[in-house]
Every structure is written in C-alpha cells, then in structure tokens.
Chains A and B, each alone.
Chain A
Amino acid sequence: MTTTTLAVLVPLLPFLGAVAGLLLGRTAPGFVRPLAVLPALAAAVLAVIVAVRQGGGRAIDASTQLTPTGSVPIDLALHLDGFAALVAVLVGVVATCVQLYSTGYLRDDPRYPSYAALVSLFTSAMLLVVYSGDLMVLLVGWEIMGICSYFLVGHYWETPEARAASLKAFLVTKLGDVPFLFGLFALATDAGTFRITGILRAVGSGGLDHPTLIALLLLAGVAGKSAQFPLHTWLPDAMAGPTPVSALIHAATMVAAGVYFVARLLPVFAASAAALTVLAVMAAVTMVGSALAALAQDDIKRVLAYSTIGQLGYMTGALAVGDRGAAVFHLISHGAFKALLFLGAGVIIHAAGTNSLAAMSRMSGLPKRIPDAYWTMTIALFALAAIPPFAGFFSKEAVLVAAEHASLGDTTGVPSGAGWTVLVAGLLTALLTAAYATRLWLLAFRGRGPAVPDHGRQPLVMNGVLWVLAVPSLAFGLAVTYLDDWFDGHALTPTVTTAVLGTGVALVGGLVTYGAWRHTTAMAARPPIGAVAAHPEDSPAVSEAEAIATHTPAYGDIASAPDPADPGRLLLGPLHRHAAVGFHLDAVYHALFVRPVLAGAELVRFLDREVVETYVRGAGAVPRLLGAGVRRAQTGNVQTYLSALLAGSVVLAIAAVIVAAVGA
C-alpha cells in the first residue's frame, strides 16, 4: 500500500471503530473492548509506518475533490510533513494507551460502550485534523472534537459538576470557534483556497491582505481549543470527566489541536508582528497565571489541568517566537508525560479513595500500595519540572533557546519584545512548575498518618500502560538530535546558558517547596480531613466519581481545601486565595456573561408572562365576551329572530338599490 493509502486509513480506522462500537454496543457487548482497542492500536501502528516512510523528508500531498463547492474549492486533501507524521504517532500511541487503560478503569461502567466509541471518534477527529491538508476538512475534525469533549467530560452526568463542566467546555470552546470560523473564511478569501499548501504559497508571495485581522480571529479559536488565557477556564472544570478522558484531552487531542493548527499555519501568523506579540503576551500570562493557580489547587487532577495550561503556554510561546519545531517538540514530549501523569493520577485516586491532596497528605504508605504508579509518576514529574535528562528538559530548553534567539533579535520577523516576554515568563514558569510538581509529589507520596487501606493490586493493563508511557517521558529527549530533519531544520539542542538557567530555577523551586513542606508538615498532625471513598471491588471510575461529587461538600470548594499543612499556602501567601479560584476569572465571566444572560432570560420570562400572556388571555376573553353576547341574543323568541332576519334583508336591499341608483 502506498503511504497515502495508509495515511487515509489512520483516521478512518478509529472512525469505523466508533461507528461499529455505537451500533454493536448493546447487542454484542463482547465486541466492545476489541472494537475500542484494536482500531486505535492499528491506527497507531499505521501512523508509525507512515512516519517511517515519510521520514522527515519532503511533504507528501494528495487530494481529491468529491464535488465542486463554489468559488473556493474544498478538497479532501492530505498534507504529510514531519509535524503531521510525528503528532499522528503521538495521538495514536496515547489513544491506544487511553483505550487500554479505560478497559480496566471503567470495566464495570454501564455506559462503557458509548464511552469507548466516543473516545475512538475523538481520536479519529484528531487524526483528521493532524493529516488534513484542507482547512475545511480540518474544521470538521475540530468541531467533532468539540462535541466529543462535551459528551466525554459529561460522562458522570449524574453529578452536577460534570454537567456544568461539559456545558462549559462546549460553550467556551464554541465562543472561540465563531471567530475562528470567520478567520478561516477571511483567510480563504484572501488566499483563494482552503488548501494549506496554497495558503502557505500565498503567504510566501505576500498575497494576504489582512494578515493581522485573520491571525487574531484564528487566535481566538486556538485560545479556546488550546485553553489559553482568557478562554482557558473550561479546562480545570473539565476534570469532572473520567481520568482517561482527561489524559486524552490534555495529552494528545483537543488542546494539542490549537497549537498544532498554529504550527501548520505559522507563516500566516508570522506575517503579522502584532499577532505574534499578542500570542507572546497570551502565552506569558497563561504560563505564569496557570502555574500560580496550580500551586494552590487541592484536587490532584486540577493541579495537572493547570499544569497543562502552563505547558501549552510554553508551546504557544515557542510559536510566538517563530519556532514551530520547538513547539511541536514540546507538544510531543508533553503529550507523553502528561498522559502518564493523568493515568497515574487515576491510579492514585483509586488507591487513596480521594482526589484531594490535603487528604492524601494525611495518609502514609501510598508508594507501597501502588509502586508502579509511584515510580512512573516520579519520572513524569521530573519530566514536567524539566530536570535533565528527562524529556521535558529538552523540549522546554528548545522553547527557551528559541525565545532567547528571538529576544536577541536573531529571528527575522519576530519582535524582540515578544522574545523577552516569552523568555522571562518561561523562566519564571520553570521555577513555579518545579514548585508545584514537588508539592504534588510530596503531598501525594510523602503523607504522614494512618496507612492507606489495601485495595489489592491495580489492574495489570493500567500499570502496563503507565510503564509504556514512562519510556518516552524518560528517553524521548535523547532523540533531539534526530528531530531537526523532521521539523524546520533548526537545531533543537539546548544551549548552556538556558540549560543552566532553566535547570537552576527548577532546582530552586523544588528545594524551596521542599523546605516549605518540611516547615508546614508539622501542622498536619491534626486528624485527617475530608472523606475517603473506598470501593476496592468496583472499577476505579466509581471511586473517582464519588470523590468528585464529595469534594465540594467536604471542603467547601471544588478547587481548594482549608489545609494549613499545604506548602503552596505558605509559598503563595496572600496570593493563595486568588490563585485557588483561578484569579477570579470565572467570577468575572459570571458577571460579564452569565448574569446578563440570566437577567435577559428573566426579562424574557417577565415579558412572556405579563405581556404576551395578557394578549393571549385577551384573545381568549374577547371571543368569550362575544359568545356571551351572542348567547344572549338566543332568546328562543321566533319573532325576534325573524325581525333581525328581515331587518338584515331590508338593509341589504336598500344598499343594493342605492348602489344601483348611484351606479346608474
């Protein structure tokens, strides 16, 4: 088979798996698991083959046109370059891991068939986005991901948090998608085509009339999908979904789509210095803000969610300084270790029976119960904190090097202000990232108190997946010297200055957090706070759903817990209160959007009840009055009827005569 055929099969197989899973889910439950895992696995293998054949060489383009679509043609097009090949491999591998993990994690879930089918559909949509060479086809995958995320985040729809979160994820990303759509149309109108190659050619020849407008419109959609400030608020709330979904959304799909989209169309953004500056500022605010918020969260998954936002900030920062190689490099390595972190967090939540770090810090012996998760999570946290030689170190260094080049004015077309912004914010975030990674590790695994109840061994499939993902988290960075050819050809190797700076601030952050923890852990002697849900014989998802549902009643808030033993509280000081609620952005949105909409709804309700209803009642009352009047005329006296009849006839006759006389 040709490379093109294989590439077509990559998104097609999960799609067929999703369709088959939805159709057969009820009638043939035995086929659901193979139908979920095998297409994803096959897609991953095919993606690897495609990547090997493509080999980082010239981009492969293939297209077919199903039907003429007016002035701007829409093609079913493939555009396979090094970025697409490698990201597809990441998506395939992570999706396979997530599907495998889900078979254990949701093994007794009554809605598992539809869940697995939606995950397959999600994967297929992301692969479509990755391989598509036509922006309209890309948009199809983009929107399918939106609706799939809505369904998957709302998987535990019995809990109000999940319902609210799924709705929020959908609405906020849609808020970005509307300008995104306008941006796509504007881009296609300027370039005369939806094909990526055609657009890049048009940009190269300066054929774009409104680069800043287009770039900013597209950025809105990217901010929504990739959870960048100010449209990031859906991502922490999306933690109400099952852990494997979080892993899928955060590591390989959905949030990666935005970054990947900008990477594909980077020349369009690079054509406008204003857009790059906006992108840089957006990235900087996102990075620092999310890292501070992560330090204050109590829910282990929310910590990871904010960390995702921050790492996405690194990627957009790399794009803002014009180095998409670094961005996609970080995307891939982050995908590996973030998937590992989430899947490990799922194991921890099941073993500890809670998702609260405050509760975990009051129980001991967690590493002994789940040694696989302990070791793999440690590796992933090192990667997150960018400690050499883990994968995160190399990719983050690539970003910082690119920012350094830009700030020194070495990169053409990129304002050096953007470079400085990204560089400073990146270093600050490196410090904070190490701090919250250390805090997470210490609170989760170094708790003191009664021993964790024994739930038995975790399912083999879940532990196996963790070790599979640990390999790239550990070693992917070593491939850095080979990656240049796949991307634009920039060197991605770290330089001494940034390596020393980055690692130094990371070590400082980690050590300061450790010191703070030593200081505060003495206060943890109080009895355990919070509720622990233990369901050793049920599937792990049950514990998680219960933990999500009980967090607010137990701690008064979904995001934080009143725990004096938290080192984050000491480190952040007065900032902690604001960081815990995401710097009140939700409250701002509530005041800006939710309350006016509610007021409008109230007004409409009032108008409906008082005004429209009055008309309706009047419309009912007038015929009733008329009816009463007509009924009164029904006297039963024949002479009255006859009088009225004859009077009417006389009137008609006179009218006819008068008309005739006048007419004559």
Chain B
Amino acid sequence: MEKALIALAAALAVGIPAIATAYAQARIGSVGAGTIAEKPETGGIIIILEAIPETMVILGFVVAVMLILQFA
C-alpha cells in the first residue's frame, strides 16, 4: 500500500505539471504559429516561449525520481 502511494505521488508529480505544460504550450503554440505566419523573423523568440513551460515537467520528473529513490 505504501509503495502504491509513493508510485501515485510520483505519477502526480509528473502528471500534473505535464497537463499544465500541455495547456500552456497549446496556447503559446497556436498564438506563436499565427505570429510566425505574419512575422517569420520572430521564429527564434517563439521557440523560446514555446519551450519555457517544459521546465515544469522536467522539475516534476526530478521530484518523481527523488520520491521513488528515497522512499520506494
């Protein structure tokens, strides 16, 4: 039971940021595509903006790995 709860915690640590990142990237992506269509020179900035929310999942992944290694 304890292991199951740890696994659930690790899954939530990755899953919730993943949903949040997906939402943020979807919004940024759709607006960014429109911006690039009008101003192709903004491509670099849009890639940067699109990539910024990913850090949430990466940090969630680190937390998940820590949880599993420390407690499982």
Q: Do A and B bind each other?
A: no
Using a CB–CB distance below 8 Å, which chain B residues touch chain A? none
